[in-house]
């Protein structure tokens, strides 16, 4: 009798480790820090830990791997996905890559605390790489220990899955497991280290290749290996583009421009700020990758960054993300230029990035406002005035756009007393004392212009509201919610991790009884560590 696919035991995972089979690896096998040249990876084993305990797992990701609930709750699952045991077909390795960090070339970086266990092929023929984050040092760890703490692991696990359910391209997270050991961390690099509970996240993606994988080979002049890696990537992840050739490389770069633009548009739609858009944190597949000091806009501020390291320059602030996306693409273009030796295809693709982003921005903002289609004659000004109003007074972005759907066209005949802003708008304001007469007059004027614009579309209110609620989430993974879950988890209580995981599966639904998770950031969280600014160790 054949077992149902969803009931396969862990040992039945089918591995096809093409990356290590087809690309050259580091000939050295000793696990010590070093420069690794003429290789795409180094073989390395995870570090065993003392007392692993499963915190949570994603049932959607287990479905991708054809694993049952019973399998995921077994001791073997915990042992494997903390790094204590390997399945027979696993070939663990860490990748070699470089990157531009905060605008400067940083040289070799690599998987300093990530170890790929292997590539699983599921029953649909999909390839999924399993990667442990925090499972010990690798040759790329530099001066670090290769470990992760529960704080950062809970943030990555929950955010990966939250982003997926928001409809945003992302790497996924299978599980988070505590190690039973303490890890010393200086959260804000200010000379106050402390011991924290250790943990390991299992990340899952079709590929973890980054712009930096190609940059490091180009920077070292390893052009032959660069071509091998590009050819491998096209055959494995972009077979629809055709056999590798200079023309295919150009089409490949254009597709990366398209997917990167689409990903950042999604970030802007929900107010997500990545926080550290270095080229080594840019996925070749246009996936959100490496959840460190991220955050959602609460008070709308185009200049906001969640990253303490970026607090001065604000290179990676919310409003700068589209520009940085293009900057990073230029660095990738420079890396693969030797394979094409023509400027024009890259210039055209980068121009396409700009065009796609602007078109996408206009459509996205029209969707958020519930308009049938973007009309430049009226909507450029409508959108610009709204963003200025949101920036001028501390206004919760998520709550504002979600509540905006409550506007009805029957309100168009009201005279709009500037002293009485709608209750739904007041719910989004953090500082009611900021609402002076000038602001009230401008906001009331904007609301009248918005209602007049809706009248021209003449969509029934209920139709428009449904459309708006499909793109404006009710629930996002706010940093203070993450911190609440972390505080509990550090006492051994993982219940809020599970509750948030369930909540964030349906971010666009009302979910009666869960309204406490859809309110403004509380004042206690305004300046608390982990709730406002975070460091790269977060």
**Which residues are tagged catalytic?**
280
Q: How far apart are the C-alpha atoms of 318 and 520, rounded to whole Å? A: 19
Q: Structure tokens of 225?
A: 């290996």
Q: How many CB atoms lie within 10 A of CB 127?
A: 16
Q: How far apart are the C-alpha atoms of 207 and 489, rounded to whole Å? A: 30
- Contact in structure between 353 and 326 (CB atoms under 8 Å): yes
Q: Structure tokens of 273?
A: 């700020």
Rg of the chain in Å (alpha carbons)? 24
465: number of CA atoms within 13 Å, CB side?
11
Q: How far apart are the C-alpha atoms of 165 and 181, rounded to whole Å? A: 32
Contacts (Cβ under 8 Å, ≥6 apart) of 90:
15, 117, 118
Q: How many CB atoms lie within 10 A of CB 308?
A: 21
Q: How far apart are the C-alpha atoms of 537 and 273, rounded to whole Å? A: 16
498: number of CA atoms within 13 Å, CB side?
7
Q: Torsion angle, CA of 471/209/204/292, rounded to 10 degrees? A: -70
Q: How far apart are the C-alpha atoms of 252 and 263, rounded to whole Å? A: 17
What is the number of H-type helices and E-type strands within the chain?
Answer: 17, 11
The SS3 call for residue 213 is helix
The SS3 call for residue 137 is coil
Q: How far apart are the C-alpha atoms of 443 and 421, rounded to whole Å? A: 8
- Contact in structure between 198 and 150 (CB atoms under 8 Å): yes
Q: How far apart are the C-alpha atoms of 110 and 142, rounded to whole Å? A: 9
Q: How far apart are the C-alpha atoms of 199 and 135, rounded to whole Å? A: 8
Cα angle for residues 412, 441, 473 (degrees, 5° grid): 65
- Contact in structure between 489 and 55 (CB atoms under 8 Å): yes
Phi and psi at residue 445, to the nearest 5°: -65, -40
Q: How far apart are the C-alpha atoms of 69 and 79, rounded to whole Å? A: 16
- Contact in structure between 483 and 420 (CB atoms under 8 Å): no
- Contact in structure between 136 and 47 (CB atoms under 8 Å): yes
Place of tokens 């993982």: 494
Place of tokens 């996408």: 360
């Amino acid at each position: 009798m054949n077992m149902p696919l969803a009931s396969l035991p862990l040992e039945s995972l089918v591995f096809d480790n093409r990356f290590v089979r087809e690309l050259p690896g580091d000939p050295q096998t000793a696990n010590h820090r070093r420069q690794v040249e003429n290789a795409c990876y180094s073989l390395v084993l995870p570090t065993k830990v003392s007392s692993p305990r499963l915190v949570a797992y994603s049932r959607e990701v287990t479905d991708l791997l054809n694993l049952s609930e019973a399998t995921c709750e077994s001791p073997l699952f915990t042992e494997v996905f903390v790094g204590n045991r390997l399945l027979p077909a696993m070939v663990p390795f860490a990748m070699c890559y470089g990157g531009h960090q905060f605008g400067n070339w940083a040289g070799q970086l690599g998987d300093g605390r990530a170890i790929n266990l292997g590539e699983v092929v599921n029953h649909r023929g999909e390839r999924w790489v399993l990667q442990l984050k925090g499972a010990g040092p690798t040759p790329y760890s530099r001066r670090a220990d290769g470990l992760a703490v529960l704080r950062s692991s809970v943030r990555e696990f929950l955010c990966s899955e939250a982003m997926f359910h928001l409809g945003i391209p992302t790497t996924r997270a299978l599980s988070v497991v505590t190690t039973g050991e303490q890890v010393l961390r200086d959260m804000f690099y200010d000379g106050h280290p402390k011991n924290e509970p250790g943990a390991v996240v299992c990340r899952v993606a079709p590929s973890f290749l980054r712009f930096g994988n190609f940059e490091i080979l180009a920077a070292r002049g390893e052009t032959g290996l660069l071509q091998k890696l590009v050819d491998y990537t096209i055959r494995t992840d972009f077979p629809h583009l055709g056999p590798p050739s200079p023309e295919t490389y150009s089409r490949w770069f254009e597709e990366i421009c398209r997917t990167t633009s689409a990903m950042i548009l999604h970030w802007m739609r929900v107010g997500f700020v990545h926080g550290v858009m270095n080229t080594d944190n840019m996925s070749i597949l246009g996936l959100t990758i490496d959840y460190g000091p991220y955050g959602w806009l609460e008070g709308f501020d185009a200049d906001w960054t969640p990253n303490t390291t970026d607090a001065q320059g604000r290179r990676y602030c919310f409003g700068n993300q589209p520009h940085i996306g293009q900057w990073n693409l230029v660095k990738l273009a420079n890396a693969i230029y030797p394979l094409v030796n023509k400027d024009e295809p890259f210039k055209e693709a980068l121009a396409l990035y700009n065009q796609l982003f602007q078109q996408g921005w206009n459509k996205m903002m029209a969707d958020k406002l519930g308009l049938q289609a973007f009309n430049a004659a009226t909507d450029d000004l409508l959108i610009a005035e709204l963003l200025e109003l949101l920036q001028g007074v501390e206004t919760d972005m998520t709550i504002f756009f979600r509540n905006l759907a409550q506007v009805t066209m029957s309100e168009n005949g009201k005279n709009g007393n500037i002293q009485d802003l709608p209750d739904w708008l007041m719910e989004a304001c953090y500082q009611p004392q900021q609402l002076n007469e000038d602001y009230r007059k401008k906001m009331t004027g904007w609301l009248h212009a918005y209602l007049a614009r809706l009248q021209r579309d003449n969509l029934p209110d209920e139709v428009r509201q449904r459309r708006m609620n499909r793109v404006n989430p009710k629930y996002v993974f706010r940093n203070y919610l993450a911190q609440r879950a972390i505080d509990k988890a550090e006492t051994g209580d993982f219940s809020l991790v599970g509750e948030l995981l369930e909540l964030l599966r349906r971010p666009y639904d009302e979910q009666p009884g869960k309204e406490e998770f859809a309110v403004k950031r509380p004042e206690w969280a305004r300046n608390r560590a982990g709730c406002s600014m975070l460091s790269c160790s977060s």
